[in-house]
Amino acid sequence: MLDDSQNRIKQIREGKIEEFEKIFKELYPQLCLYALRFVKRKDLSEEIVQNIFCQIWENRSDLNIHTSIKAYLYRSTYNNALQALRKDGSHNKYKEYIKHHYNENNSSANKLEEKEINEIVHKTLLSLPQRCGIIFKMSRFEGLKYQEIAQKLSISIKTVEANMGKALKAFRHSLKDYMCLF
C-alpha cells in the first residue's frame, strides 16, 4: 500500500495531472467531511481542503511525503482546520471585545475616542517601513505566528521579532496618551 502511495506521489511530483485529479476526486469529499467536523462550516471546510490540494500541486516538485498520501492529506486537513479555528477564535475574541467595550449605548465621547485611536493606528501603520507593516499585519490581523510569518516571507524569525519590536515601539509611542484605556 505504501509503495502504491509512493508511486502516486512520484507521479504528482513529475507533474502528472491525471494522477493528481484521481486523488482529488477520490479523497476530496471525505476530507471536506473531516474538516467539517472541526470548523462546522461547509464553505470553510471546502476552502481548507481546496487550499491543501492547491498547495500540493503548486509545490509538487518539492513534495516529500513519507506516509501514505491519504494519511498526509488527513493530517494536513486536521492541521489546517485547527489553524482556521485559531484565526477565527482570535477574530471572534476581538469582535466580542469591541462589542462589549463599544456597544450602541456608548457616549459620543467614547465614539470620538475610538475614531481618534483608529486614525492613530492607521497613521502609525502607514509610517512603518513596508516590511515592518506587513509583518505587523500578518501577526496581529491575520493571527500568524512568528515562524509562519518567517516562512511566508522567506526571512529569519529574528528578523520578524526585530520588526515586530519596531512596530510595537511605534504603536506604544503614538498611543501613549490612550494607554490607560488598554
CATH code for position 119: 1.10.10.10
The overall pTM is greater than 0.85: no
For residues 136 and 170, membership in a common domain is answered with: yes
Q: What is the tens place of the pLDDT at every residue in 31-49?
A: 999 999 988 889 999 999 9
If one counts the domains in the chain, the total is 2
Segments forming the whole domain that contains residue 109 = 102-181
Residue 72 lies in a domain: yes
For residues 109 and 162, membership in a common domain is answered with: yes
Residue 142 phi/psi, 5° resolution? Answer: -100, -10
pLDDT at residue 109 in the model: 47
Residue pair 152/141 in contact by the 8 Å Cβ criterion? no
pLDDT at residue 155 in the model: 94
Residue 93 lies in a domain: no
The Cα–Cα gap between 146 and 167 comes to 14
Find the CATH number of the domain harbouring 66: 1.10.1740.10
Give the torsion sign (CA, 155, 159, 164, 167).
negative
Residue 94 lies in a domain: no
∠ CA(106), CA(111), CA(115), 5° rounding? Answer: 160
The Cα–Cα gap between 115 and 151 comes to 35
For residues 29 and 77, membership in a common domain is answered with: yes
pLDDT at residue 134 in the model: 93
For the chain, which residues score pLDDT lower than 50? 1, 104-105, 108-109
Residue 129 lies in a domain: yes
Residue 10 lies in a domain: yes
The Cα–Cα gap between 34 and 56 comes to 18
Residue 96 lies in a domain: no
For residues 13 and 70, membership in a common domain is answered with: yes
For residues 44 and 72, membership in a common domain is answered with: yes
pLDDT over 70 percentage in the chain? 82
Query: Among residues 66, 88, 110, which one ends one of the domains?
Result: 88
